[in-house]
């Protein structure tokens, strides 16, 4: 009798376990391609994505690889156990349609914002397009105005570039013709410039590195192909804290529960917990000093950095809303921190890719140098670098085209995210409300892949975004939305014969008078989003730089 009871119990347990297993398996949306093997695992695509990220150190190329594997511009992947699939779109025209014309159906996805929630919970990137988002945007919009870029940001960027060149000259003299990595130099130089533009203070990490080279002893390998390793200067504590918090996003990016994992890391790991305190104390102190400065002068024209702009904007908004201004708030601190972090990441990545691409394409480099020298002929005669104002005032179509081509290949912002706000369609496929849509543009393989504990300037694999730097994936055009078919704002498509090549001339057009100009709509380009939730700097200044 006991044998029968235990046998029945074992059968019931087995049936229950199998039923739970079946319930836990991914549930695909009808008609959208997916990886069959992933659909038979409780973890879905997560094991494949994790292995991909461990090798390549970034995520978006995995999504593009799935599209290429399934030969479809729309696929679904499961990245969270028991969660809904992500809808992946790799098609320029459809992405443009979603971001520009379908605001009511698609809004900002919380998925990407969750990556930063633990360190910047009140940054505007996390909000839906609501009153909170509009208030934050009004607070920060002047930071990307042409006036601010010309009069404030440009001089800081110019000074940072000059310091970086000085550092590299010092390293070249010591290296005696040997190679050396420049990744950390670019990252810190970009942060120096961003730091000065945001806070008005000179953090001088590049100058600190220059000082560290004086009288230093460097060991050379007998193999001249081995890069020289230089001693590193100790960076200011607050500077290190900001970079540490930015790098901590890797905890979220590598976890199926990004929000929870990152929060635990930030609150339990001592150096991250200390970095959070340093960040808050520093930002609070800077906001207090900036508000005191404005209260003493009330001079709205004396803008030296973004802090000044934010304080002035908060005073104006408070007066309009009939309230007392509040400067040291979570909202303002998170906007400043987010601006610093995003600006440094995109700037340093783009500069690194620009260096590599110009080095790989000497024809473009030589042509650009010649045009710059001809444009800034007075500075060349005087043996000096053009001033920030001279650079800003010059209208150089080939420079704009080269920058656009660098951004087209670099993928500094490799994709965009949205969430369905109502039941809708993509390519005729039914997508219910509440699904995250990940739209791939150009993939940026990491340039700083660790090798034996050291950062090496290498490229591991380039998964090009379909339609951007590789031919588009096939799709029945009749499956597009009526609005998309009728739209007249779609850029021309790139010539498939050279779409993967680095050719700045593709951005240039010649008018009937023979005048060569830069055409920002020459072809697909969405590195900084589009529509209402695109980068507000892109709307203020439409050029690539």
- The residues with which 415 forms a beta bridge, in sequence order, are 440
Please report the pLDDT score of residue 301 as a whole number. Answer: 66
Same domain for 344 and 418? no
Backbone angles phi, psi at 445, to 5 degrees: -65, 145
Please report the pLDDT score of residue 531 as a whole number. Answer: 82
CB count in 10 Å sphere of residue 104: 10
Q: Residue 17's pLDDT band (boundaries 50, 70, 90)?
A: low
Q: What's the CA angle centered on 357, arms 354 and 363, to 5 degrees?
A: 120
Same domain for 148 and 87? no
Q: Last residue of some domain: 327, 360, 393?
A: 360
Q: Which of 185, 180, 183, 169 is nearest to 225 (CA)?
A: 180
In this structure, is residue 495 part of a structural domain?
Answer: yes
Most confidently predicted of 290-299, 336-345, 418-427, 435-444: 418-427
In this structure, is residue 96 part of a structural domain?
Answer: yes
pLDDT of 342 above 80: yes
Average per-residue pLDDT for the chain: 85
Cβ-contact 210, 163 below 8 angstroms: yes
CATH number of the domain bearing residue 527:
3.30.43.20
Q: Last residue of some domain: 331, 360, 389?
A: 360
Measured CA to CA, the distance from residue 356 to residue 121 in angstroms comes to 35
Mean pLDDT for 247-267 is 87
User: What total of structural domains would you count in the chain?
Assistant: 2
- Lowest average pLDDT, out of 31-40, 263-272, 342-351, 500-509, goes to 342-351
Q: Which of 458, 456, 428, 461 is nearest to 444 (CA)?
A: 461
In this structure, is residue 378 part of a structural domain?
Answer: no
In this structure, is residue 46 part of a structural domain?
Answer: yes
Mean pLDDT for 508-523 is 90
Please report the pLDDT score of residue 445 as a whole number. Answer: 44
Q: Last residue of some domain: 326, 360, 394?
A: 360
The residue ranking higher by pLDDT, 74 or 12, is 74
Same domain for 95 and 177? no
In this structure, is residue 388 part of a structural domain?
Answer: no
- Digit-coded pLDDT (tens) for 289-312: 988 888 776 666 677 889 988 998
In this structure, is residue 382 part of a structural domain?
Answer: no
In this structure, is residue 356 part of a structural domain?
Answer: yes
In this structure, is residue 58 part of a structural domain?
Answer: yes
- The range of the structural domain enclosing residue 514 comes to 28-105+406-540
Q: Residue 222's pLDDT band (boundaries 50, 70, 90)?
A: confident
pLDDT of 83 above 70: yes
Same domain for 424 and 311? no
pLDDT of 411 above 80: no
pLDDT of 3 above 70: no
Task: Kindly give the pairing relationship between strand 415-420 and strand 106-108.
Answer: antiparallel
Same domain for 99 and 151? no
Same domain for 435 and 291? no
- Which residues have a Cβ under 8 Å from the Cβ of 127 and sit 6 or more positions away? 108, 113, 133, 136
Please report the pLDDT score of residue 467 as a whole number. Answer: 53
Mean pLDDT for 453-465 is 33
pLDDT > 70: percent of the chain? 87
Mean pLDDT for 170-198 is 93
Mean pLDDT for 216-223 is 85
Same domain for 288 and 427? no
Please report the pLDDT score of residue 181 as a whole number. Answer: 93
Please report the pLDDT score of residue 449 as a whole number. Answer: 37
Task: Kindly give the pairing relationship between strand 508-510 and strand 516-518.
Answer: antiparallel
For the chain, first and last CA: distance in Å?
81
- Digit-coded pLDDT (tens) for 345-388: 888 989 999 999 999 999 999 999 999 999 999 999 999 999 99
Q: Residue 465's pLDDT band (boundaries 50, 70, 90)?
A: low
- Lowest average pLDDT, out of 157-166, 244-253, 428-437, goes to 244-253
Same domain for 259 and 348? yes
Mean pLDDT for 510-518 is 90
pLDDT of 458 above 70: no
Structural element, H or E, at residue 431: strand 429-431
The beta-strand segments (E) located in 257-409 are none
Backbone angles phi, psi at 296, to 5 degrees: -75, -30
Same domain for 44 and 177? no
Most confidently predicted of 109-113, 270-274, 533-537: 270-274
- Here the tokens at position 459 are 């490229």
Same domain for 198 and 266? yes
Please report the pLDDT score of residue 518 as a whole number. Answer: 94
Please report the pLDDT score of residue 8 as a whole number. Answer: 64
Same domain for 432 and 350? no
Cβ-contact 463, 440 below 8 angstroms: no
The residue ranking higher by pLDDT, 441 or 373, is 373
Same domain for 71 and 148? no
């Amino acid at each position: 009798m006991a044998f029968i009871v235990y046998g029945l119990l074992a059968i019931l347990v087995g049936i229950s376990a199998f039923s739970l297993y079946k319930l836990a398996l991914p549930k695909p949306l009808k008609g959208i391609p997916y990886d069959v093997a992933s659909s038979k695992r409780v973890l879905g695509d997560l094991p494949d994505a994790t292995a991909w990220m461990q090798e390549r150190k970034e995520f978006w190329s995995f999504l593009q690889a799935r599209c290429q594997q399934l030969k479809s511009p729309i696929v679904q992947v499961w990245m969270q156990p028991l969660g809904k699939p992500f809808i992946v779109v790799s098609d320029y025209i459809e992405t443009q349609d979603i971001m520009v014309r379908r605001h009511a159906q698609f809004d900002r996805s919380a998925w990407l914002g969750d990556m930063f929630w633990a360190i910047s919970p009140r940054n505007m990137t996390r909000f839906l397009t609501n009153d909170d988002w509009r208030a934050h945007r009004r607070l920060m919009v002047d930071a990307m105005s042409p006036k601010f870029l010309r009069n404030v940001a440009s001089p800081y960027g110019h000074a940072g570039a000059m310091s970086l060149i000085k550092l590299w000259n010092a390293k070249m003299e010591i290296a005696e013709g040997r190679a050396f990595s420049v990744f950390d130099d670019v990252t810190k130089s970009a942060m120096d410039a961003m730091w000065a533009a945001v806070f008005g203070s000179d953090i001088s990490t590049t100058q600190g590195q220059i000082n560290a080279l004086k009288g230093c002893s460097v060991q050379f390998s007998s193999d001249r192909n081995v890069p020289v390793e230089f001693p590193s200067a100790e960076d200011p504590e607050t500077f290190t804290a900001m970079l540490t918090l930015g790098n901590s996003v890797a905890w979220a990016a590598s976890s199926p529960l990004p929000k929870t994992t990152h929060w635990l890391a930030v609150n339990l790991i001592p150096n991250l917990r200390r970095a959070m305190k340093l960040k808050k104390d520093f930002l609070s102190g800077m906001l207090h000093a900036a508000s005191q400065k404005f209260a003493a002068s009330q001079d709205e024209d004396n803008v030296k950095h973004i802090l000044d702009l934010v304080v002035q904007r908060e005073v104006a908004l408070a007066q309009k809303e009939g309230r007392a201004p509040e400067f040291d708030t979570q909202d303002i601190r998170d906007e400043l921190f987010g601006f610093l972090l995003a600006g440094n990441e995109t700037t340093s990545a783009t500069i690194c890719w620009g260096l590599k691409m110009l080095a790989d394409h000497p024809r473009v480099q030589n042509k650009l140098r010649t045009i710059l020298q001809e444009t800034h002929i007075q500075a060349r005669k005087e043996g000096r670098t053009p001033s920030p104002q001279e650079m800003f005032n010059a209208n150089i179509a080939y420079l704009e085209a080269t920058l656009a081509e660098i951004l087209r290949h670099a993928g500094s912002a490799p994709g965009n995210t949205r969430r369905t706000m109502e039941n809708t369609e993509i390519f005729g496929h039914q997508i219910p409300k509440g699904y995250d849509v990940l739209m791939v543009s150009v993939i940026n393989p990491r340039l700083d892949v660790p090798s034996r504990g050291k950062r090496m300037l290498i490229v591991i694999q380039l998964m090009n975004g379909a339609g951007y730097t590789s031919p588009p994936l096939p799709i029945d055009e009749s499956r597009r939305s009526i609005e998309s078919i009728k739209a007249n704002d779609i850029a021309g498509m790139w010539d498939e014969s050279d779409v993967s090549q680095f050719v700045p001339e593709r951005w240039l057009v010649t008018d009937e008078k023979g005048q060569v100009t830069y055409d920002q709509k020459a072809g697909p380009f969405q590195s900084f989003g589009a529509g209402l939730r695109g980068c507000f700097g892109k709307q203020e200044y439409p050029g690539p730089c």
